Amino acid sequence: MKRRKFDAAALPGKVGGALDDRFKLASPARKLMTKVFPDHWSFLLGEIALFSFIVLLLTGTFLALFFEPSMVEVHYEGSYLPLRGIEMSKAYESTLNISFDIRGGLVIRQMHHWGALLFVAAILVHMGRTFFSGAFRKPRETNWVIGAILFILAFFEGLLGYSIPDDGLSGTGLRIIHGITESIPLIGSWAAHALFGGEFPGEVIITRFYILHVLLVPGIMLALIAVHVGLVFAQKHSQWPGPGRTENNVVGYRMFPNYAAKQGGFFMLVFAVIAFMGGLFQINPLWLFGPYEASVVSSGSQPDFYVMFLDGLVRLFPNWELSGFGFILPAVFWPAVIGMGVAFTVPLLYPFIERRFTKDRAHHNLLERPRDNPTRTAVGAMFASIWLITTVTGANDIIADKFNISLNAMTWGGRIGIVVIPVLTFYITKRICLGLQQHDREVLAHGIETGIMRRDPDGRFYEIHQPLTDEVDEHGHPKVLEYNGWTVPKKMNRVGALKPGLRGFFKPIEIPGDSTDQSSLDSKDTREEIEAGKK
């Protein structure tokens, strides 16, 4: 039989046809590929989180091949000399082996840790973008809630992850987790015993945390991330206001090839940054901490940055212990359990809290600039300030040491700060928002400040403004333009009257305008003197 000639050019069509015969893909595939996405740099933040999550799955799988989540005592005989002959758990030993005795283990371990930090950081910034632009409003509340749950899961996933190597630092963290669990009223000691399988530290906690860390929590997260991203597709991405953009359309470019190429490239870049950090920046050098011993701690015991707000809150809270009728409500219950609960549930429920006050039940596909919702922006800034104070307090012993400040002064500064600064932040942020709004409207009404001063014959000075429109009202004044929710040009070069300012980091990549070359400033044959805006 004669062999049929292979036609490479017809192959994609043939495969496409075969797939369509079976799955009826032509229409849905086309719709997916030509789906329009709006573009703005701030929409990329969530992607950083998504990409770091993928890197975490990859590196985590490698680590799981070599990590032994066991608290069985062993003698260390690996290549790190200072710890040779020391008794330690198998978990710590296998982590040391990953770092020293497994080819490429250290770079993967460090990439996993840096990836985790980047993951949580990206989630926080992404949440901030969503919050301050009002993207969580109807119809996207569900996705906000899913995102907030993902943050909570990421927080605990990280906590579980840095607890399982069973080194000196992670054991101290476990001890604190134990102490906090014990502080829960009524069930505290039973809950702590259930968690640790008996007295602290017991012999099961690492094994338990491990299975939560590698199976349960990431499994739930994977499912929620799929829903999270799926809902963005189904509901279509929100967009910033701008020319031609309405509540009922999406302005942007197509999923393929533009968006997909940018996403693919960006994924590689995020991966590259994590690889670079994993290779060159040391993180969690746990061979220096030694195995966990209940009697040993070092100064400067800090958790990862996203847990530091909680640690800071615990440091700041006064020693107000309630007792009576033979029972105790430990002081640490308030900052650690209630504080954490509030920190997690208030953001989770924020869309519904805001709606209670605004009674806003409309669909919103256009985002709001932070200045256009001063109260929300101020509330957000207030929470950010609380987070910042508590996070800094989480490292107040380091700051006290490095800057030679009294430790007690740092604590008192934090205690006073956490009461005063949020209030100030709220007020100042709100005033700044209102001021920015006012200035936008001023420019829309009177034009851009040109910096050209004029003196009237009667001696008065005034600045000439360049109106943004040629249209005039019945009095001959420039028409007051309506604010459309987007950037108002405030510099003359923004409206093309001057050459753009210098850009570039090492050298200007645009040539500065030549003040003597008047022809470049105006396309018209003769330049007219700026007269408008004159009273």
DSSP letter (8 states) at residue 510: S
What pairs with residue 239 in β-bridges? 366
Shortest Cβ distance from residue 192 to another protein (Å)? 8
Strands (E), 49-92: 73-75, 87-89
Contact, 312 vs 391, CB < 8 A?
yes
d(CA 108, CA 233): 33
Closest separation in Å from C-beta 121 to another protein: 19
Work out the burial of residue 187: count CB atoms within 10 Å of its CB; fewer than 13 is exposed, 13-18 middle, 19 or more buried: exposed
In sequence order, the 6+-apart residues with CB closer than 8 A to the CB of 407 are 396, 397, 400
* Nearer Cβ to another protein (35/439): 35
Length of the chain, in residues: 535
Least distance to another protein, CB of residue 17, Å: 15
Compute the least distance from the CB of residue 126 to another protein, in Å.
Answer: 20
Identity of the residue, 320 or 357, whose beta carbon is nearer to another protein in the bound complex: 320
Give the span between the Cα atoms of 461 and 53, in whole angstroms.
Answer: 60
CB of 321 to another protein, least distance (A): 4
Burial 462-501 (b: 16+ CB within 10 A, else e): eebbbbbeeeeeeeeebeebebebeebbeebeeeebbbee
- Measured from the CB atom, the residue of 257 and 501 that comes closer to another protein is 257
Nearer to another protein, 401 or 449 (CB): 401
Closest distance to another protein from the beta carbon of 91 (Å): 12
In the bound state with another protein, the residue whose beta carbon lies nearer, of 316 and 468, is 316
- Least distance from another protein to the Cβ atom of residue 506, Å: 17
Which secondary-structure segment (H or E) carries 327? strand 327-329
Q: What does the alpha-carbon distance between residue 383 and residue 343 come to, in Å, rounded to a whole number?
A: 9
DSSP 489: P
Pick 295 or 523: Cβ nearer another protein: 295
Is the C-alpha dihedral spanning 229, 233, 235, 237 positive or negative? positive
Query: Given the complex with another protein, which of 12 and 459 has the nearer CB atom?
Result: 12
Nearer to another protein, 132 or 333 (CB): 333
- Of the pair 119, 333, the CB lying nearest another protein is at 333
DSSP state for residue 165 in the 8-state scheme: T
- CA-CA distance, 279 to 128, in Å (whole number)? 30
CA distance 439 to 450: 15
Minimum Å distance from CB 224 to another protein?
Answer: 22
Smallest distance, Å, CB 189 to another protein?
5
C-beta closer to another protein: residue 90 or 178: 178
Report residue 22 as tokens.
Answer: 């079976």
Rg (CA), the chain: 30
Query: Is the Cβ of residue 125 or residue 329 nearer to another protein in the bound state?
Result: 329
Kindly state the smallest distance separating residue 161's Cβ from another protein, in Å: 20
Pairing of strands 327-329, 322-324: antiparallel
Burial label, 300 (beta-carbon count in 10 A; 0-12, 13-18, 19+): exposed
Q: How far is CA 123 from the centre of its chain?
A: 4
CB of 216 to another protein, least distance (A): 13
